[in-house]
Amino acid sequence: EVQLVQSGGGLVQPGGSLRLSCAASGFTFSDYWMHWVRQSPGKGLVWVSRINTDGSGTSYADSVKGRFTISRDNAKNTLYLQMNSLRDEDTAVYYCGSIYDYWGQGVLVTVSS
């Protein structure tokens, strides 16, 4: 059974940091580009970042460039999103996934003082 199990969400103050994790099982994780997508309350899906299969290539949405870092550990079948300098507008449910195949369950990140 394919699973993407996410962890690391929570409440953080503006300017703070958080690291999200996404543990994959049931498929060959190292064969897939992986992405982070977020959804603010009551809004649509917004792409955040992607990483290629071996981690050598990444790209980011303009809104998070320079603040967020995507990475992966293929030995651990895990995807990460390091989020620094968090802002109120980063409050959202964050999903990991391959977009066209598998999605995680989502974790809520709330940025508030």
Residues found in the chain: 113
CA–CA dist 49, 82 (Å, integer): 11
Phi and psi at residue 29, to the nearest 5°: -55, -40
Closer by beta carbon to another protein, 78 or else 98: 98
1 is an interface residue for another protein by CB under 8 A: no
Q: How far is the CB of 80 from another protein (least distance, A)?
A: 18
Question: Applying CB under 8 A, which of residues 9, 53, 55, 61 lies at the interface with another protein?
Answer: 61
Closer by beta carbon to another protein, 20 or else 37: 37
Closer by beta carbon to another protein, 102 or else 110: 102
Dihedral sign for Cα atoms in the order 69, 89, 104, 22: positive
CA–CA dist 59, 70 (Å, integer): 9
* Contact by Cβ (8 Å): 72, 82: no
Question: Applying CB under 8 A, which of residues 25, 40, 52, 59 lies at the interface with another protein?
Answer: 59
For another protein, the binding residues (CB under 8 A) are: 35, 37, 44-47, 50, 59, 61-62, 95, 97, 99-106
